Chains A and B, each alone.
Chain A
Amino acid sequence: QVQLVESGGGVVQPGRSLRLSCAASGFIFSSYAMHWVRQAPGKGLEWVAVISYDGGHKYYVDSVKGRFTISRDNSKTTLYLQMNSLRPEDTAVYYCARGGYSIYDASEIWGQGTRVTVSS
């Protein structure tokens, strides 16, 4: 069945790095844009980044620009989020989500999330 499974979360000190992965299965991964969305404790949903189906276009929310990098390996059907210079305000559950062929499409399929805690 169509599935997204995130991994790589954990507890990390401020200023350190973490890489999240999102393993996709059950659909043609290389045909879909992919997103990262996060939810901080007690807060709403915040869109983080999107990557086009071929990796040629990437966009970020301002608060992570220059620190986070979204990437994908279509041969491994896996989405990544490299997070550098982490801050306490990056603490959240991070979800990967499948968009459509276009980056403008809604996010139809979501993973269960991976928790990231940035704390000394």
Chain B
Amino acid sequence: DIQMTQSPSSLSASVGDRVTITCRASQSISNYLHWYQKKPGKAPKLLIYSASSLQSAVPSRFSGSGSGTDFTLTISSLQPEDFATYYCQQTDITPYTFGQGTKLEIK
């Protein structure tokens, strides 16, 4: 199975900060990498698909980059509603594994 490793596992930041989360795959997955936001009691929300494409209606402060094994999710200016847990997922090879998550907390 492809292992997805996110870093950091948790992060404290302030409103207005620029934040970067990384996701590393144990083997090349081309650009079959997607980013989701998860809040407690809510369904996951797709933010970025195919590594760098912004999902419709997602604010432009979210961006993604990378290919192969190394990927990043960047939030350019944190807003209060952005405090959540973020997951990367690969869909290159089944099982479609998620990273362990990055919990973004208010400093």
Contact = CB atoms under 8 A, between A and B. Distances in A.
A44 B97 contact: no
Interface string A14-44: 0000000000000000000001010100001
B95 A106 contact: no
Interface in A74-120: 95, 97, 103-108, 110-113
Contacts of B100: 44
Contacts of A35: 96
Interface of B is mostly: loop
B32 A107 contact: no
Chain B interface residue bracket vs A? 20 to 34
Which size bracket describes the interface of A in this complex? 20 to 34
B46 interface: yes
Nearest to B53: A106
A46 interface: yes
A60 B1 CA distance: 12
Given A44-B98, A44-B100, A45-B87, A104 B32 contact: yes
A104 B36 contact: no
Nearest to B103: A44
Contacts of A95: 43-44
A45 B91 contact: no
A64 to B, nearest CB: 10
Most buried by A among B55, B85, B91: B91
A47 B95 contact: yes
Contact of B89 (A47, A59, A61): A47
B95 A110 contact: no
Contacts of A107: 34, 36, 44, 46
A110 B44 contact: yes
Interface of A: 35, 37, 39, 44-47, 50, 59-62, 95, 97, 103-108, 110-113
